[in-house]
């Protein structure tokens, strides 16, 4: 489904079965292995299946803000082994250069993201290693092991984009850093834009 078509889709109750099944499968994956490469490979397949269908994200966690991008918590594992969030980007919005300090998977649900990756030089300064576009249905990975510093921008100038992220921690509570190009860090804890999360466990409606 294109980003424009997504804006025109009829208002229906979200299919919470999809997200419920995803978080259950991801919890099973983490119970089976602690190997990061295995988690990223198998987790990529799980996230790809989730974002292949766009009928499950509740509208209240898909709303842009005119001032800044939004990070909505969709689920946090009870042992904080992983969290699932929706990132909602208004037209032209972007992050500063930042890290994550844990592994992460990013799946594009609607629209396009421009991702600029950076590498630290021995001097501590950052060098831009180029940019890539992440389109609907595509999944990217980050971690301190494979590359963890980037800047992300909405790749669309006229409408929102939405990506679904899975991180190896309660990402809204993790101390991380933004960076100047000379490598100077500034620590931050992101928190979340929402104070409530979707109720995935009410099976009375079987949605």
Dihedral angle computed from the Cα positions of residues 160, 161, 163 and 169, in that order, rounded to the nearest 10 degrees:
-50
Tokens, residue 171: 């990402």
Sequence-distant (6+) residues with CB within 8 A of 145 are 36, 103
CA-CA distance, 97 to 135, in Å (whole number)?
21
Find the angle CA(72)-CA(78)-CA(79) to the nearest 5 degrees. Answer: 110
Per-residue DSSP letter, 101: S
Tokens, residue 116: 């600029």
Tokens, residue 141: 């990975």
Beta-ladder partners of 153: 94, 114
> Would the annotation count 98 as a binding residue?
yes
> Would the annotation count 135 as a binding residue?
no
> Would the annotation count 75 as a binding residue?
no
- Which residues line the annotated binding site for Fe cation? 98, 100, 150
Q: Annotated binding site: which residue ranges?
A: 98, 100, 150
């Amino acid at each position: 489904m294109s980003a424009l078509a997504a804006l025109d889709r009829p208002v229906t109750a979200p299919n919470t079965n999809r997200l419920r099944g995803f978080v259950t499968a991801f919890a099973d994956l983490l119970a089976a292995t602690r190997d990061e490469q295995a988690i990223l490979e198998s987790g990529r397949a799980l996230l790809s299946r989730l974002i292949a269908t766009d009928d499950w994200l509740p509208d209240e966690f898909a709303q842009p803000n005119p001032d800044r991008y939004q990070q909505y918590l969709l689920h946090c594992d009870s042992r904080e082994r992983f969290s699932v969030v929706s990132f909602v980007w208004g037209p032209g919005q972007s992050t500063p250069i930042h890290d994550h300090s844990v592994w992460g998977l990013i799946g594009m649900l609607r629209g396009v993201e421009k991702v600029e990756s950076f590498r630290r030089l021995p001097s501590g300064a950052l060098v831009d290693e180029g940019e890539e576009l992440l389109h609907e249905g595509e999944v990217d990975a980050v971690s301190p092991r494979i590359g963890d510093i980037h800047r992300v921008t909405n790749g669309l100038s006229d409408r929102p984009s939405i990506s679904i992220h899975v991180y190896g921690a309660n990402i809204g509570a993790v101390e991380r850093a933004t960076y100047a190009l000379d490598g100077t860090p500034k620590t931050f804890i992101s928190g979340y834009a929402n104070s409530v999360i979707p109720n995935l466990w009410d099976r009375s409606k079987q949605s």
